């Protein structure tokens, strides 16, 4: 499986509906304004992750650490 295939599979995992009922309960207490604000924030986060070609928080952390090491070398 190529790295590109892994990214596609990871994206599919990110948008899976396995946890939908639990997440709906988590968000049930939000008013409409807060729901839309959170939705906008999460959609922006998803877009940024796709642009950065990361599919998980672990990948974000790894990229941050790699960049910090690169900067520290200078």
Residue 60's contacts (CB-CB under 8 Å, 6 or more residues apart) are 49, 52, 54
**What is the average per-residue pLDDT within 5-11?**
52
Lowest mean per-residue pLDDT among 12-16, 25-29, 45-49, 55-59: 12-16
**What is the average per-residue pLDDT within 25-35?**
87
Q: At what angle do helices 3-14 and 32-51 cross, to 10 degrees?
A: 180
Q: How many CA atoms lie within 13 A of 61 on its CB side?
A: 3
pLDDT per residue as tens digits for the range 35-51: 999 999 999 999 999 99
Predicted local confidence at residue 29, as pLDDT:
84
The span from the CA of 39 to the CA of 31, in Å, is 12
User: Mean pLDDT score of the chain, rounded to an integer?
Assistant: 82
Quote the pTM value.
Answer: 0.59
């Amino acid at each position: 499986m190529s790295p590109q295939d892994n990214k596609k599979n990871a994206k599919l995992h990110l948008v899976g509906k396995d946890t939908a009922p639990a997440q709906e309960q988590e968000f049930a207490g939000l008013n409409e304004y807060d729901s839309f604000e959170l939705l906008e924030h999460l959609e922006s986060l998803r877009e940024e992750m796709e642009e950065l070609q990361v599919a998980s928080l672990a990948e974000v952390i790894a990229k941050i650490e790699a960049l910090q090491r690169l900067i520290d070398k200078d």
